[in-house]
Amino acid sequence: MNQKHLLIINAGSSSLKLTLATLPNYTVLAAFLAERLGADTPTLTQKAPQSACTPLSTGSSHQQALEACLERLQEQGLLTHEPDAVGHRVVHGGESFTDSALIDEQIITAIDTCSTLAPLHNPANLAGIRAIQTLYPDCPQVAVFDTAFHQSLPQAAYHYAVPRTLYEEHGVRRYGFHGTSHRWILQQASEWLNQAPERTAIISAHLGNGCSVTAVHEGQSVDTSMGLTPLEGLVMGTRSGDVDPGLFDFLLRRGYGAQAIHDMLNRESGLLGLSGVSHDMRTLTKAAADGHEQADLAVNVFCFRLARYIGAMMASLDRLDALVFTGGIGENSATVRQRTLAHLGIFGIAVDETANNQTETDTATSIQASGGPPVLVIPTDEEQMIALDTQRLTNARRTT
């Protein structure tokens, strides 16, 4: 079977990640990260194969960054022809998308409509789509939505207790995010359990700079910690997670502006706000081990909130086949896993300290002590999930 060359694009508000991979035998040929787009000092780093960070032209756009990546690929002989397809991570699909979709003008309009729900992300995602349309007009493109996996949430899980007109007129409800990662983890966990995904019940904890927990029952998302926006739920790198909604009014009355509160909760809170040191868990766990009290507090709050949400997710399940840690923190921080699991003994969950400290692997690793439900560490691979969806939908397109 011929190898297909796919581009996988994740366009952020001021960044662009690009991966070149092949299928059906998934292999990453190259990966790039462009940062600070639109600013005075944009840069481009090739992550695989690794190379030094290089500056881009001042104020470079998503299209210019994409062109720079493609030029590198051509110089290196890695992309000598038009890609067979392009897959895009799109943050918000609202209620319009329950699956990934082949991109056409109707899909683009729907993504644009959802921009009111994700004003920092969807316009950037569209910029990546438009850039590919300009460079490769005939190349098929696929949108893979963060929210699609969570469209199976029951009404009791996605409605807020606010006037119904907010939902009917403005789409105010819980949507959930990180769906591509949680879906990948479901597939990997069910394979480890040797059972079909549609017969699997897990709790998946995606822990990185952004964090979310999802309960999956019989292969479907039935509850998740993020809501209308990615701000709800767990403590994150710079996001507060859950706070009393009255905090907004409290701060307004003390002279804070709406934008200042928004920036505070999204960019100055979470691990960074609690510790006053860093939003990086590696830095914080080292500082905590060295006796830094605020760093230790930040780690403890993070782990307690995570354990509390894991416990809450149990209400959506009739059994637990496995609890899974993933994402940069979930995969790499033995301290976070140990402190979190210490709160969950009531569920019969306990950690094997030796196994917990030896999880640097590309495959699923079990870290629970004997007895109780399995606790797994599984590396996430959102890019591969996007590539597989892109292949599935473009193959279906060719056969119709």
Instruction: List, by residue number, the catalytic residues.
Output: 146
Encoded tokens for 140: 């098929």
Helices and strands (DSSP H and E) totals, the chain: 15, 14
Give residue 361's identity as a one-letter amino acid code.
Answer: T
Cβ–Cβ < 8 Å for 216, 186: yes
Nearest to 383 by CA among 1, 6, 91: 6
Cβ–Cβ < 8 Å for 239, 231: yes
Give residue 14's identity as a one-letter amino acid code.
Answer: S
Nearest to 315 by CA among 227, 238, 225: 225
**211-217 and 202-207 beta bridge pairing:** antiparallel
**SS3 call for 336:** helix
Omega within 30 of 0 (cis) for the link into 49: yes
Encoded tokens for 263: 């920036």
Name, in order, each residue with C-beta under 8 angstroms of 31's C-beta and a sequence gap of 6 or more: 17, 18, 19, 20, 46, 47, 48
Name, in order, each residue with C-beta under 8 angstroms of 351's C-beta and a sequence gap of 6 or more: 337, 338, 341, 342, 367, 368, 369, 375
Cβ–Cβ < 8 Å for 210, 240: no
Q: Please identify which residue in the block is written with the tokens 């895009």.
A: 88
Q: d(Cα 33, Cα 11) in Å, to the nearest integer?
A: 10
